[in-house]
């Protein structure tokens, strides 16, 4: 009977160990997917920011050519756009440093 109990305990142990290994493997897969998704979100944010860069450069050229009457408005618009751009770059940078 003692041998039967030991065999039964071993079978249960093996089953639980197998279940844990399967669960750990799934968790690792989920972790990898989450990391990839996070990277994709950051890449998407970077790409979106890069598409705004030419607009800001165009606004910069407009500022250079603006007359007295439009210069103040163009300057305020450009300052806002640059500040927003910098803020979003810093946000992405901090997310990358954290992860």
Cβ-contact 59, 78 below 8 angstroms: yes
pLDDT tier, 4 (very low <50, low <70, confident <90, very high otherwise): confident
Furthest-apart CA pair in the chain: how many Å? 100
Q: Can you read off the two tokens belonging to residue 71?
A: 């210069």
pTM for this structure?
A: 0.63
Q: Which domain holds residue 37?
A: 2-98
Only one residue has tokens 């210069």, namely: 71
Q: What is the pLDDT of residue 27?
A: 74
Please state the domain count of the chain. 1
At 13 the three-state DSSP class reads helix
pLDDT of residue 35: 77
What values do phi and psi take at 70, rounded to 5?
Answer: -105, -10
Give per-residue pLDDT as tens, 15-63: 888 888 888 787 788 778 767 877 788 888 888 888 988 999 998 988 8
């Amino acid at each position: 009977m003692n041998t039967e109990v030991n065999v039964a305990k071993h079978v249960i142990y093996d089953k639980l160990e197998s279940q844990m290994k399967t669960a750990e493997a799934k968790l690792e897969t989920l972790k990898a997917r989450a990391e990839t998704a996070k990277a994709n979100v950051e890449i998407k944010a970077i790409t979106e920011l890069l598409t705004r860069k030419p607009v800001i450069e165009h606004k910069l050229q407009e500022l250079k050519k603006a007359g007295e009457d439009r210069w103040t408005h163009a300057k305020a618009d450009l300052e806002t756009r640059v500040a927003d751009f910098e803020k979003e770059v810093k946000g992405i940078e901090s997310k990358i440093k954290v992860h």
